[in-house]
Structure 1
Amino acid sequence: MLGALQARTAMGVNGSVPLPRDQQFWALMGPGAPLFPAPLNVPNPATGQADPRRWQYPVSWNISQDMGRLVDWSTLRAAARDVDLIAQCIRVRRTEQSSLEWDITLSRRTVEAHGLKSTEEKDALLKEHAEEISRLISFWSTPDKTNDFSWPEWLEMLMQEQLVTDAVAIYPRFTYGGDLASLELIDGATVKPLLDERGNRPRPPAAAYQQWLYGFPRGEYTATDGENPDWEGTAGALIYKPRFTQVHSPYGYSPVEQALVSAELWLRRQQWMVAEYKEGTTPRTFLKSTLAALTPEQIRAWEDSLNDFYSGSTGNRHRLKLLPEGFDPSIAEDAAERYKPDYDEFLVKLICAHMDVQPQEIGFTPRQGLGGAGHGESQEAITYRKALRPTAQWLASLMNQVSYSFLGMSRDLTFQFLGLEAEDELQADQVLEKQYRSGRRTLNECRDEHGLSRYDFAEADMPMLVTERGLVVLENSSQTAPPGELITPMQAAPTQPPPEDGNTDPGAPAPARNQRQRTAPPPTEPGSEEQSAAATPSTEDVKKAELAAYWRWSRKARDRARPFEFAHLTKTDAMLNELDLTHVTFKAAGDAGPKAQGGQTWPAWEIDQDTARYWAREISRAFAGIDTDRLARRWTEARKSVDSESWLDGQGVSLTGALRQVLQGVYGDGYVIGLHSSRYAVDHARDPAVRWTEDWGGWSPGDREAAKAIAGPGLERLLQQADITIRSVAAHRMRELGDALAEGLDQGHGPEEIARSLRDVLTDPGWAYGVAVTETNRAVTYASQQTYAANGITRTEWIAASGACPLCQRNVDVGPVRLGQSFPSGAIGPPGHPHCRCATAPHIDSITDIL
């Protein structure tokens, strides 16, 4: 009853119909029914309710002489003129923006709507608009023809208005024929925006703006309407565009207005410094008397005597002056000693932040820290992100509005600032590269993004993975190799082409195939129940989580007395992910079963580990020249949000040169080991009576000169081919450095802790040993296959080292293959994975191999 009565009463208030108040409001001790509104505006016929006002504007806004400003326009003008820092910042912003090149081109929406991919297609559409583009460029080259202001002059004035008042006002002047003749910039401080009853801008034909001059409105103008622009001789249109718009005011919020409080602090600071010189009261020197109390007359006499003697006389100030006992001089600090620049730097940075300008751009270089190329690039990126690009987008939107409304520009075209897309293209290239490397895009799809012509070979349309070991084509990859194996690029074939294969009789030093002891279980076939059970998503997720935990441990654990224990990853998984196996243990039973082949020997196994240990120490010391403390400080100061690897490149950090110097020694020693071992293997295969003699010709691990003399020209060929591998290893370590930087920043670590993480990555003994073992064996295999080819060996077989993984075991099980042909893993010889010590032995097919 009461609710119905209140509802009927409220209906009489300005004709509004209140919403129902149901029983949910009438509970005891409840929230109470809402008051019925008494709307100020006429209700909307569709809803029966008054539409909301945009803001609670002052009553009689449109007729008040008060412009409704919290800060007077004259204050902003004075700050922009008299505060030196603000004036310099405005000059920088104006110059930066006006110096950008511009053009009229196809809009991105047009390109996407027409499905334009190639540059030729885009050029064809541009030719259709060539005449229109020429007309638009001609107009914008001199937008204010009334005052003959060119584009740079006109844009600098517009930027001045936006930065100071944020009340950009443009009066479009038309010819009597209705064509746009000129765009005249008007002092925005004289323009008062009018409001409708809801606090919005009135729509045409109602006046939206008035120009107040000498305390009274002298003209009124409509808002711009692209459909029906007003011509010369009527109530003209006015373009009024604040950039930093506000809901509670029709005015903008300019950078100068934002910086006013900071600017006042800066002015007070300058006044204090001037007062130090003009009105300071602190004498340079005091004389403290320990004598009996002196009368004021005596004190004044002493002061006059000393001041008269020293004042204005440089010569007297350099002479000794004997004072009576009891006078102790006390020298006060001068202004320079009391002045500390830190506070001034803080104020400079504060004002520059309001104006979106870096302090270096107005002449304030850092007093401490780093200011090299990397620091400069980071500051340039901040300026681009905060100031240049957003302002260019706002200006382009304004120019497009004018062009569409008054110049009749086609919607296919857009006004565009040039030179800004380079940063965007770099980021887009990085995204495309990651998508290509992860198999999410093909090479031709990447070229389509850049409007380039497609490659005509089949591989360009195949998704593939780009790994440290090479390319993995995803199409039919499960048929190329068993699941879980890494498909690696083929190694270089021997220089001498092998003849066709003969019979398949095994030869020494490997035992005959029917005598091998294969106690390890055969590999799981694709599609089997065992494989399906092992490849469930839950198992893979668990392994990924465990792998992520290992990487976190490896970066943080400097004291690795206790190894990391894998509960789900197998040794094969670890090798495929190139983990350091020296500090890990495995619970998973996936690698059960003996892996070594009984009876097989390989001479290199007697010395390869000693060689690897020697070079592991050299690898750990190779990066000692990298200043990790400096990098950590720079990184924490920059606080960059971009890719950490790209940032490292910008700092000039390169691991390739140092790594190449060490790995060339590794390859030299490995080549010598492979040369002697393979020669013995060939001799023993032809004559089982030949025995191994440990004679290395005066060479020992680390003896570069001896290795070079023994190896001969074969080593030079290896070093030329190995440069790709060296760069790949260096790139992998650079990624580890980048990950350490990114993780340190994410976790809020300081420079010291980040520097320790970087040193741990660079000097990791486990990683160094793994690289030394792997690359030593790579050189051993290269030298071996060169020897086999030179001796007419046509077939080789894989022999497994102790503790070999299932990946290598499959290579063993396949038996002999043609020299230069791939084993099931995709490689023509070891290493099949990091830390691999397996080898290839010659296989004697016929009597022609012995002769």
Structure 2
Amino acid sequence: LLEDLFVIDAPALYLSRDRAGRLLGLLPIDGATIKPVIDDWGRTPLPYAENGETIYPTAYQQILKGYPAVDYSVRDLLYRPRNIRVDRAYGFGPVEQIVTTVNIALRRQAFLLDYFTQGNIPDSLIGVPENWTPDQIASYQKYWDAYFDGDLGRRRRAKFVPGGVAKTFVQIREPDLKGPFDEWLARIICFTFSVSPQALTQQMNRATAETQKAMSEEEGLAPILAWVKNLIDDIIADEFASPDLEFSWSNEVAIDPQTQETILTSYATKGILTINEARVALGREPLAEAAANRPMVLTGAGYVPLGQAAEPVGKRVRWFAKDNPYHDERGRFTTADGVGEAASPPSKGAIRVAQEGEEDNRGRLEESGDPLAELKQQEWGNAIQTLRALDPNNPNLSYIVPQDWVPTDQNIADLNAEIVKVATQRATDFVMPDGNFIGTPGNGPDVRNLPGGAQAAQDAFDYLSVGGTPYSGSYSQSGQMVVLPGGVGWVGRRTNRNGIPTLDIRVTSTFGSIRFHYK
């Protein structure tokens, strides 16, 4: 596959499928035999709907012995040239770009081969008197060769010869077997493939060599790795309905531990990364504490969280007067029997903000003693906003607490559990309102067809993504993707390689994964 990419820029993979249309394997095909088919607009023909069915027109032809042998659609063949041109139907590979330079280099090698195998120029020439006959020259040549043959030591000794012979010695100049021209050829070829010419050129100092190596990996290897990754990511998203998964290379560049510690510490203390993000970068499990998920800045007084809640915590709900359990006639929280010390707010049920003038100071920020109190308030407020966006009439939105009330870890956990429950039910009701998937069967077991086109797909995505978090992975490069509230799943919208508006939804705890094609 990579050879076709580098030489002719025509990598091709045949999508082998079973009887149900599911992908079985990827079979490499000689890209030199593939001819792209273009429509009236000069583009690859895309699938279209006709009588409720998806029609896949011929997009590629395999030419064997000069005749069209096999027709392929975009569902049958992956044809992915890397260097696409607007004035040609084919790619422009690195080898084709330097074909003249390669021709020169090949002829240069042929010249060197002839030098060692077919050369007829001796190392030196020695003149003889002009009155010597050819027989005399041949006789003296035999004498000279026999005198030095087999005796290496004699070759280094002085030899008395006639005066005319000694005056006419000519040393033949050796040709350059390796010079600047060879390095120039090597640099051009290495530049085309973005690899370092260090091994083929004169030695350089260590700093320059390391710089060349880093540039080679960044400019040469990295784009090829990215091309392979994008190819596999598209296959995972299109064929396995899993745009949340991505291919990743395991041979990551090793970083000095001390340097990595310095970088991550700087990011964490400046609020660029959270503590958990730094731990994940080190390959460690994230911490459960809420503060570990909040960006903070290190000041002289300690860590200070970035930003504040959009509005003061404790001012987001209506006044519900006497409908809160376990409170006295003044609205203060007490135990179940109404006596004793004021109790903490119940972890579930109705909780509301105390009105100005009420004297319940339990759980106030200034008396909590919890260094994470402000972060907990912020997390509680964000969770309330998410729940209100999902279900404005949810009973858990009615709560009564002091103005500066600090929620406990259990309060936050219970509220997050309610968000998970509501988000799961909301997505499930959209996909399976009556227990069955909406739409009609598509071209796969997990694919359904719906009408409405791109606008309907966008409307569905907007509804399902309420309260979610945008995701910036490989899927979002060709569309939109949002992680659902509570991390119960995700929803993604894009146009697939066949030109069909697509909506992917996954909620693992209920229906799993489903893909909708809006035609």
**TM range, smaller chain:** 0.3 to 0.5
More helix by percentage = 1
Rg bigger for which structure?
1
Q: How does the TM-score come out when normalised to structure 1?
A: 0.30
Q: Quick one: higher RCO (CA 8 Å, sep 6+), 1 or 2?
A: 1
Higher strand share: 2
TM-score (norm 2): 0.47
